[in-house]
């Protein structure tokens, strides 16, 4: 009889061990003293959100927090499901950049019921459901005002258009700030079109083509993000109107900065997504330690134009600024050439097949030399300790590889 029971006892012991292992793998890391934060980003492949995630990760590492970052792929149902997963995993906090600011409320309410604090970054929840501890974002009304100032500087009078994404709360604020600046600073400028480009480059290009057909005397266009602005630029190029229509964007991504340096775009409002990521983790840290972070944390926005590029050069390198402006389209190429092509394309920072042009393509060393002439912020993320945004200056931003030979 004992011989019959022995295999059964062994089997039960193995099953118990397996259950114990499974329980440990799904239990909240906080049980072992590590705080676990679930982060759902509406579009993780966007450059802005890549930089914001980098800021979060750096600050979380400082506090020894664990981050689980997932991509909602611009799908509210996916994001709702991700919040449910975080709840089942018993995370200690949830961070959301909502794809749908209204619909996300029910998921936030579920997290509230599970006693899990929710924070939002960049995009706020507008739902009456659910409570958010703190929202961290650029001051987008002020940022839109900066974009409006740039448009007023470029266009003294005449019709301009907006490539919009009206369902996004942060974009609503940008457009409101832009309209306020136009009405106050250059009332002779009139907004004749405001179309929904969905924040997507292809759609913005199509919309801009339609606008150019309807408003042949258009003087300028504001793209609510750089994909919108660059999509508009593609349509302007196709129409042969580069230099005749002022394009103002928002974010100052490397590709947009290259277009600004080339004279194809007038300027951009500048955000610091890494700072938003850092401030979000700081707010969570304050909450974990019994504090009460502000309900809204605003990060200031500045502006970037071709003049900003000149100011950011070291005096000894300003002699090269004509070449930099003349070959503005090669700036991104030089940046891409300094990094792994596969890595850069995976992050969508380099168009396929992009290479430095002209004499700058003579050798990798020449490309690196050219890259060393550029401001560090064109090549590397913003330092996480930076508190606000503004125009770049040589004193604030040391150059990459300054004083070094390739």
9 has a pLDDT exceeding 60: no
Return the ∠ at Cα 26 (arms to 24 and 30), rounded to 5°: 80
What pLDDT does residue 358 have? 30
pLDDT digits (tens, 9 = 90+) for 212-268: 999 999 999 999 999 999 999 999 999 999 999 999 999 998 899 999 999 999 999
Q: How confident is the model at residue 308 (pLDDT cuts 50, 70, 90)?
A: low
Q: What average pLDDT does the segment 296-300 reach? A: 95
In terms of phi and psi (left: phi > 0; alpha: psi -120 to 50; beta: otherwise), the region of 147 is alpha
CB 117, CB 152: distance < 8 Å: no
The fraction of the chain above a pLDDT of 90, given in percent, is 63
Distance CA 76, CA 42 (A): 8
390 has a pLDDT exceeding 60: no
Higher-confidence position of 22 and 33? 33
User: Which class for 4: exposed (0-12), middle (13-18), buried (19 or more C-beta within 10 A)?
Assistant: exposed
Q: How confident is the model at residue 80 (pLDDT cuts 50, 70, 90)?
A: very high
Higher-confidence position of 239 and 33? 239
CATH of 140-270, one of 3.55.40.20, 3.40.50.2300, 3.40.50.1860, 1.10.3720.10: 3.40.50.2300
What pLDDT does residue 343 have? 43
Q: How confident is the model at residue 309 (pLDDT cuts 50, 70, 90)?
A: low
Lowest mean pLDDT segment, chosen from 6-15, 82-91, 160-169, 393-402 = 393-402
> What are the structural domain ranges in the chain?
31-132, 140-270
Distance CA 250, CA 267 (A): 8
What pLDDT does residue 181 have? 97
What pLDDT does residue 32 have? 54
31-132 and 140-270 agree in CATH topology:
yes
Range 31-132: architecture per CATH: 3-Layer(aba) Sandwich (3.40)
Any residues with CB less than 8 A from the CB of 230 and at least 6 apart, and which? 201, 204, 223, 249, 255, 256, 259
Termini Cα distance of the chain: 80
């Amino acid at each position: 009889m004992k011989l019959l029971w022995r295999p059964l006892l062994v089997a039960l012991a193995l099953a118990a061990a397996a259950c114990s292992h499974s329980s440990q793998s799904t239990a909240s890391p906080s049980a072992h003293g590590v705080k676990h934060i679930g982060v759902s980003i509406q579009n993780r492949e966007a450059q802005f959100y890549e930089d914001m995630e980098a800021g979060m990760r750096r600050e979380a590492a400082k506090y020894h927090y664990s981050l689980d970052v997932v991509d909602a792929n611009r799908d509210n149902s996916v994001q709702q499901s991700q919040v449910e997963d975080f709840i089942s995993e018993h995370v200690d906090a949830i961070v959301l950049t909502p794809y749908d600011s209204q619909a996300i409320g029910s998921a936030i309410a579920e997290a509230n019921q599970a006693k899990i604090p929710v924070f939002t970054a960049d995009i706020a929840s507008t739902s009456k459901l659910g409570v958010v501890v703190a929202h961290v974002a650029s001051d987008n009304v002020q940022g839109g005002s900066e974009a409006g100032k740039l448009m007023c500087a470029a266009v003294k009078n005449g019709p301009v258009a907006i490539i919009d994404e009206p369902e996004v709360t942060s974009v609503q604020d940008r457009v409101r700030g832009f309209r306020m600046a136009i009405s106050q600073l250059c009332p002779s400028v009139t907004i004749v079109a405001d179309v929904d480009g969905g924040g997507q480059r292809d759609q913005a290009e199509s919309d801009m083509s339609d606008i150019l057909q309807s408003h042949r005397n258009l003087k300028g266009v504001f793209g609510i993000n750089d994909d919108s602005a660059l999509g508009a630029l593609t349509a302007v190029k196709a129409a042969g109107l580069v230099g005749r229509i002022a394009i103002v964007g928002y974010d100052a991504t490397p590709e947009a900065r290259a277009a600004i340096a080339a004279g194809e775009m007038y300027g951009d409002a500048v955000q610091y997504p890494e700072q938003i990521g850092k401030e979000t983790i700081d707010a969570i840290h304050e909450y974990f330690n019994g504090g009460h972070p502000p309900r809204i944390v605003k990060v200031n926005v500045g502006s970037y134009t071709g003049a900003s590029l000149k100011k950011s050069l070291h005096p000894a390198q300003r002699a090269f600024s004509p070449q930099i402006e003349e070959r503005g389209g090669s700036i991104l190429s030089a940046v891409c050439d300094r990094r792994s092509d596969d890595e850069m394309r995976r992050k969508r920072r380099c168009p396929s097949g992009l290479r430095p042009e002209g004499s700058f393509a003579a050798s990798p060393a020449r490309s690196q030399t050219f890259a060393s002439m550029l401001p560090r912020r064109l090549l590397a993320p913003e330092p996480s300790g930076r508190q606000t945004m503004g125009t770049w200056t040589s004193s604030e931003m040391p150059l990459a590889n300054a004083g070094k030979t390739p």
